[in-house]
Amino acid sequence: MKQFLSLVAVCIFSLSAWAQETVAVNTGDLISPEVKNQTVTFRLLAPEAREVWVETDFFEKSRQQTPLGEVEMAGRQRMEKGENGVWSYTVALPAPELHTYCFYVDGVRMLDPSNVYMLRDIATYMNYFLVDGALSENYFVREVPHGTVAKVWYPSPSLGMERRRMMVYTPAGYEEGTKRYPVLYLLHGAGGDENAWSELGRAVQILDNLIAQGKAEPMIVVMPNGNGAQQAVPGEYPNSMYKPSFMNPKTMEGSYEKAFPDIMNFVESHYRTINDKAHRAIAGLSMGGFHSLYISANYPDKFDYVGLFSAAINRESKGENTYIYKNLEEKLATQFAAAPKLYFIAIGNADFLYQDNVEFRQLLDRHGYKYEYAETDGGHEWRNWRKYLNNWLPKLFK
């Protein structure tokens, strides 16, 4: 026991004897971010640094001139160095949300070594913390029954791929029962992958909480990978340890939409789904909204619930499968002849895709196609997509 305690002490001295990798370190007792008395404090031990800044998603944004025009940048604040080499910055607690931040040390962006909670957005990690409140209450893991989340592989013959991956959420109780469930297909945006909704989107927490509260119907949620040339999240298929990028092959040229029945066939033959239009929903953000629009229009008898969150309407690129995007008005006419129970469009008033969505709604209006519209503040960002999901799920399958 004595030897054991010594080793614990060695660990505390930031050394690596028992720590499980030779490069492991320990940042000691520094707490960052610390939420206390309606403030949040960020801290970083950097005795030799000349300058440390903290950048958050809730500081006032700055606008900078670039060769492409004026662009909004995340706000930064200079941290103050204490006598112990610890830089810190304290600010009033921001509004309830999942908030993200990072540090800049002598000009180099870095993560907070005291905070293991981080999210990857395309090729960039950021630390996060949650502020509790009415808006964010379902983003927290609560003491409620939890669904199972599985990384599942399926074949996609239409894409010529033996293996592709999806994340599948089955609601609490699924494994114990024989009940059949409705299905939501929930699609990510450009640069995202099958992990995006469960990580950045807090979809698992939102589902667990809404279902536990009786606000949403228990449902199976399928989160596929919408990049037609990718098998899975980069790093999790052969030779894929590249840097993820915003633009990927086979994303908005029709092949994914064409292959979507491969996903549905797998899901409906491997899960206890209810296989009719009234029990299928499809929704997505940005590129995923684009996919949802065209998948639901091309398979008009499949989905009674369609959700376009900040959808990238009219963004298709060229290719042999662009027939998927042709004759949209005709396809919508067919789709709305037996109209979906809920066709939902949501967008932030500062989104660069706002005008495209205005025009799309004008098209729907011209034909008298019914839809529900939700406009929020903010732009093309996850805080809106979490909100849209949280507000939309209670309307499904009822």
- Residues from 299 through 328 that contact a second copy (CB under 8 A): 315, 317
Of these, 40, 53, 97, 100, which contacts a second copy (CB under 8 A)?
A: 100
Name residues contacting a second copy, limited to 154-173 (CB under 8 A): 163, 165, 172
**Structure-block tokens of residue 179:** 């009940």
In the complex, the smallest distance separating the C-beta of residue 232 from a second copy, rounded to whole angstroms, is 9
The number of residues making up the chain comes to 398
Query: Site mask, a second copy, residues 252-291, x = CB under 8 A?
Result: ------------------x---------------x-----
Q: Is 135 in the site for a second copy (CB under 8 A)?
A: no
Closest distance to a second copy from the beta carbon of 325 (Å) = 12
Span interacting with a second copy, options 186-194, 254-262, 276-284, 365-373, rule CB under 8 A: 186-194
Instruction: Give 345's strand partners.
Output: 308, 373
CB of 316 vs a second copy, minimal distance in Å: 9
For residues 228 and 160, what is the distance between their CA atoms, to the nearest angstrom?
A: 10
Task: Rule CB under 8 A: say whether 73 interacts with a second copy.
Answer: yes
Residue closer to a second copy by CB (options 192, 228) is 192
Give the interface size with a second copy as a residue count (CB under 8 A): 109
User: Which range in 10-18, 300-308, 340-348, 388-396 contacts a second copy by CB under 8 A?
Assistant: 10-18
For residue 257, the number of C-alpha atoms closer than 13 Å in the C-beta half-sphere is 29
Q: Does 298 bind a second copy (CB under 8 A)?
A: no
* Interaction between residue 27 and a second copy (CB under 8 A): yes
Please state, as a whole number, how many other Cβ atoms lie within 10 Å of the Cβ of residue 375. Answer: 12
Shortest distance, CB of residue 300 to a second copy, whole angstroms?
Answer: 26
- The 367-396 site mask, x for binding a second copy (CB under 8 A), equals -------------xxx--------------
Contact pattern from residue 193 through residue 212 relative to a second copy, giving x for each residue in contact according to CB under 8 A and a dash for the rest: -------x------------
Stretch that binds a second copy, among 113-121, 179-187, 216-224, 332-340 (CB under 8 A): 113-121
* 293 touches 252 (CB < 8 A): no
How far is the C-alpha of 307 from the C-alpha of 177, rounded, in Å? Answer: 29
Q: Does 191 bind a second copy (CB under 8 A)?
A: yes
Question: Nearest distance from residue 368's CB to a second copy, in Å?
Answer: 29
